[in-house]
């Protein structure tokens, strides 16, 4: 293998490895521009994302010392990027000496050699254009081939990222719908699901959770009381004290909820733990398993505080709402008994001052 081929292979391996870790279109675009600069030795690299609604190309990501086009928008047919997007060639190569007068240049930008590679799906859908430029040396056929391969690899990564985003949006909507199903029975104050999701994420960040655990906490917050869909209205909405049999039915909602949630594809163990264990107590007096202290799943310990706080600060059929100050005082008193002291300490540090609008999600505001 000659040195040029070895260099090209190394570049492609580096790009492919980086793109495997990308989870969103923005991350894919950032990797394409950043590595185009470093691997092709260019002054700049731009990604112009196609917006089909507005029918424009817009610079959404840039890299390189001389990149300053972020946000620039090109109407259909305007500039060399559109020429590449509408043409049949896999790469448009514009030499510095032959730079056309109709090209779009920012004030002060020099004429330079440029390559434009459109990203199209196998079905012909335009995703965007990857553009690079430099003063010297002139781009070679090898450079064109590399950028074409970058664009093809980026197309696959963008399609994967878009499908992932669609799946996540569908899952988020499903989880929200399940959470709202309880509110439709007037069991919980309107907005409980949205508020507990938002406040759980804020508390999770205060405790230093990474993105993966925050996502699991959010899913658990959506689904925490799904098991109450099986509890009869006469028990669920009863304004007075529950009988021992009714209390047993109420407590069983966590096991029922876990069993229901297991039928949702892709739910992780951390989500199921929130559903099953958010009524466990730090001192071991909770249900359904009587777990104590560190034996309780961390995400369940976090959500337990949020769930109780939101319940205390909003009216229930059997009692009036407490003020934020009264609720915080109760939580503080239960530190080391009902709740994990470390979680309570982090929760108190959030400095919540007033209850949000009943239907709002203001608990996510600092």
User: Which active-site residues does the annotation give?
Assistant: 228
Answer whether 81's CB lies under 8 Å from 74's CB: yes
| SS3 category, 281 | coil
| SS3 category, 246 | helix
State the CB neighbour count (10 A cutoff) for residue 133. Answer: 24
State the CB neighbour count (10 A cutoff) for residue 207. Answer: 20
Alpha-helical runs (H) found in the chain: 3-20, 25-40, 79-86, 141-183, 192-206, 211-223, 233-236, 244-251, 253-261, 269-277, 298-312, 324-333, 341-348
Nearest to 297 by CA among 280, 321, 322: 280
Sign (positive or negative) of CA dihedral 350, 351, 356, 358: positive
> What is each CA distance from 210 to 206, 216, 247, 299, in whole angstroms?
11, 10, 36, 12
Contacts of 187 (CB under 8 A, 6+ apart): 225, 228, 236, 237
Tallying the residues shown for the chain, one arrives at 366
Answer whether 329's CB lies under 8 Å from 347's CB: no
């Amino acid at each position: 293998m000659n040195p040029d081929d070895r260099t090209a292979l190394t570049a492609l391996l580096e790009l492919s490895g980086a793109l495997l870790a990308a989870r969103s279109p923005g991350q894919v675009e950032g990797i394409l521009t950043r590595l185009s600069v470093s691997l092709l030795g260019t002054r700049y690299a731009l990604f112009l994302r196609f917006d089909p609604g507005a029918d424009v190309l817009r610079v959404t990501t840039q890299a390189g010392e001389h990149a300053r086009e972020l946000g620039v928008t090109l109407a259909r047919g305007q500039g060399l990027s559109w020429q590449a997007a509408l043409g049949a060639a896999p790469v448009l190569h514009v030499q510095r000496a032959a730079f056309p007068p109709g090209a779009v240049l920012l004030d002060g930008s020099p004429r330079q050699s440029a390559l434009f590679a459109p990203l199209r799906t196998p079905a012909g859908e335009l995703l965007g254009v990857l553009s690079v430029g430099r003063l010297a040396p002139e781009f070679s056929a090898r450079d064109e081939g590399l950028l074409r391969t970058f664009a093809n690899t980026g197309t696959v990564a963008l399609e994967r990222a878009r499908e992932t985003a669609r799946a996540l949006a569908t899952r988020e909507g499903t989880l929200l719908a399940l959470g709202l199903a309880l509110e439709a029975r007037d069991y919980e104050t309107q907005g409980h699901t949205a508020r507990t999701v938002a406040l759980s994420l804020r508390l999770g960040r205060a405790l230093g959770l990474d993105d993966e655990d925050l996502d699991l906490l959010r899913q658990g917050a959506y689904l925490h009381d799904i098991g109450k869909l099986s509890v009869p209205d006469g028990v669920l909405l009863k304004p007075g004290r529950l009988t021992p049999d009714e209390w047993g039915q109420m407590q069983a909602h966590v096991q029922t909820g876990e069993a229901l949630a297991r039928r949702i594809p892709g739910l992780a163990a951390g989500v199921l733990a929130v559903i099953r264990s958010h009524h466990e107590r730090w001192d071991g007096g909770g249900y359904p398993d009587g777990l104590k202290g560190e034996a309780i799943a961390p995400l369940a310990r976090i959500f337990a505080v949020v769930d109780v706080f939101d319940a205390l600060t909003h009216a229930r059929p059997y009692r009036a709402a407490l003020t934020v100050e009264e609720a915080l005082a109760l939580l503080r008193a239960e530190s080391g008994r009902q709740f994990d002291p470390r979680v309570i300490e982090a929760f108190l540090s959030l400095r919540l001052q007033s209850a949000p609008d009943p239907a709002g999600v203001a608990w996510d505001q600092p």
